Chains A and B, each alone.
Chain A
């Protein structure tokens, strides 16, 4: 049975027997390569559900502080963010019915758009191939070659927590070098680093899409929206832009699952993950911690161990 048939079957079942009041999944977006979240409360809404390589949005984002019982379609990264939500008391495990989807990665729409050179009208997926149709041309891509960067280096494709899986777990990728780009920046001299990020952030229009798409960013008032005190100015000054990105990344330290939602939604294509990834790497190297893998351990910045690294403190 295909993924989507199984997702629909489970969704119908749990809506019918009132296990949940709503199922969060994906439906076809209004433009190709972008599926949108879909909140199904009735059985006929379940029919809208789709599953393909364009479901990159992190659905855990819609769970924070919900009170009802919810069924949710979760890929590997979504499930890790659900775990983080549960640990941070944003939702209770009992409220959730998690429909786990073993994931083979999501398509990088930017990479296709850049290469295709025509307006994309329709996209189909077939057996590991992505067929892109435009006005005048048609092109077939190998899906594994057009994956989002974070999916290409993903090592947790299977949901870590689920009530039901829609298919057998997929093989996890081994031997991936997750931190090649972080190391490249680490090797730079301080002024090179500064210039690198200056250039990287130059196109930022501060639309805050990265923040809004991020399941970790659930503060009622974000520090950038605060007026009293105003932590950071709201304009396009490079200093303020940098403060925003840098502080946002810090708020995700030890929590980021590298789901890639921030990078995916950026309208100007800034590789936002470069900030969070450094922190993710540090969490892993200093504390041997990967966010959202288990409900049994407190998050790394949540507890103290006498042997925590402290060389930076004099």
Chain B
């Protein structure tokens, strides 16, 4: 994805067990912070009206 031009950091992967609630919270906070820093996504947005 990054090779195609998506900013590094916008896509993240993690492996969290259903028992790891604290890790889940941590990762979510971290991801949100990072994405907020990058600002709204400018790519992959359709400008034309969607034709059914």
A contact set with B: CB distance below 8 Å: 185-186, 190-197, 233, 235, 237, 239, 242, 246, 278, 312-314
Alpha-carbon distance between A186 and B5 when the two chains are bound, in angstroms: 10
B4 touches A246 (CB 8 A): yes
Q: Which of B8, B15, B45 contacts A190 (CB 8 A)?
A: B8
Alpha-carbon distance between A242 and B2 when the two chains are bound, in angstroms: 14
Task: Say whether, besides A194-B43, A237-B46, A185 and B3 are in contact (CB < 8 Å).
Answer: yes
Q: Which of A196, A313, A314 contacts B5 (CB 8 A)?
A: A196
CB neighbours (8 Å) of A239 from chain B are 44-46
A190 touches B5 (CB 8 A): yes
B14 touches A193 (CB 8 A): no
B3 touches A278 (CB 8 A): yes
CB neighbours (8 Å) of B45 from chain A are 239
Interface contacts (Cβ under 8 Å), in number, total 43
| B23, closest chain A residue (CB) | A314
Contact with A along B1-45 (1 / 0, CB 8 A): 011111110001111000000000001001000000000000111
Main secondary structure of the interface of A (DSSP, over half): helix
Main secondary structure of the interface of B (DSSP, over half): loop
A190 touches B6 (CB 8 A): yes
| A281, closest chain B residue (CB) | B3
**Can you give 24 contacting A-B residue pairs, CB < 8 Å?**
A186-B3, A190-B2, A190-B5, A190-B8, A191-B5, A192-B5, A193-B2, A193-B3, A193-B5, A195-B5, A233-B50, A235-B51, A237-B46, A237-B48, A239-B46, A242-B4, A242-B44, A278-B3, A312-B13, A313-B15, A314-B12, A314-B13, A314-B15, A314-B27
Alpha-carbon distance between A17 and B8 when the two chains are bound, in angstroms: 60
Alpha-carbon distance between A196 and B45 when the two chains are bound, in angstroms: 17
The bracket for how many chain B residues form the interface is: 20 to 34
Alpha-carbon distance between A169 and B2 when the two chains are bound, in angstroms: 40
Task: Say whether, besides A239-B44, A239-B45, A239-B46, A194 and B4 are in contact (CB < 8 Å).
Answer: yes
Alpha-carbon distance between A286 and B14 when the two chains are bound, in angstroms: 19
A194 touches B5 (CB 8 A): yes
- 5 extra A-B contacts, CB within 8 A, seeds A192-B5, A233-B51, A246-B4: A191-B5, A194-B4, A239-B46, A313-B13, A314-B14
CB neighbours (8 Å) of B27 from chain A are 314
| A243, closest chain B residue (CB) | B44
Alpha-carbon distance between A185 and B2 when the two chains are bound, in angstroms: 11
CB neighbours (8 Å) of B30 from chain A are 314
CB neighbours (8 Å) of B7 from chain A are 190
Alpha-carbon distance between A193 and B6 when the two chains are bound, in angstroms: 8
Task: Say whether, besides A239-B44, A239-B45, A314-B27, A197 and B13 are in contact (CB < 8 Å).
Answer: no
Nearest first, the 7 A-B pairs at minimum CB distance are A194-B5, A193-B5, A314-B14, A190-B7, A313-B13, A278-B3, A239-B46
